[in-house]
Amino acid sequence: MNLKRLIGLDIAADEYRYTIDPDVGFVSAKKAPDSWVATTCGYCSVGCGMLIGVKDGRAVSVRGNPEHPVNRGMLCPKGLSEHHTIGAENRALYPMLRRDKRAARERATWNDALSVMATTDTPRARAASAVSTTAGV
């Protein structure tokens, strides 16, 4: 370890330096995007508008889209972390199916996976097609 760092004299200025983004002002130099791309948050069904900061083809930051009518520029903590999930190493990129209870999961096409989901008789599938009523009606 660096002696200066060990005794508190190295403040790691390169690690924590800021730059000015013309759209939002001061940002971490590591997360200063080349461009902002408008999109919709994928965490829940609200559909908040967000801007993903892209640098060298990768998502590096996120902010709420002030022109979006749903959230008017505000994002919850889940939305604020959306750019971390896009590049996560363990993110699912394609469907996996277990064709037999004892078999390992194997890669499947989207059509196969959706077909299995639509035709499988499970409690979850039955609940999705169930009719409910409100108490007292």
3-state secondary structure of 100: coil
Closest alpha carbon to 105 in 115, 91, 94: 94
CB crowding 81-99: b at 16 or more within 10 Å, else e: ebbeeeeeeeeeeebebee
Q: Domain check: are 79 and 121 in the same one?
A: no
**Domain span at 72:** 19-86
Residues 102 and 64 in one domain: no
Note the pTM of the prediction, 2 decimals.
Answer: 0.60
| Closest by Cα among 107, 69, 75 to 53 | 75
DSSP one-letter code for 34: S
Specify the pLDDT at position 39.
93
CATH number of residue 61's parent domain: 2.20.25.90
Is 30 a member of any domain? yes
Domain count, the chain: 2
The answer to the question of residue 6 being in a domain is: no
Give tens-digit pLDDT for 97-126. Answer: 988 888 899 999 999 988 888 887 777 666
pLDDT along the chain (137 residues), means of 10: 77 81 82 91 90 91 93 93 84 87 91 85 65 50
Please indicate, yes or no, if residue 26 is contained in any of the structural domains.
yes
Residue 133 lies in a domain: no
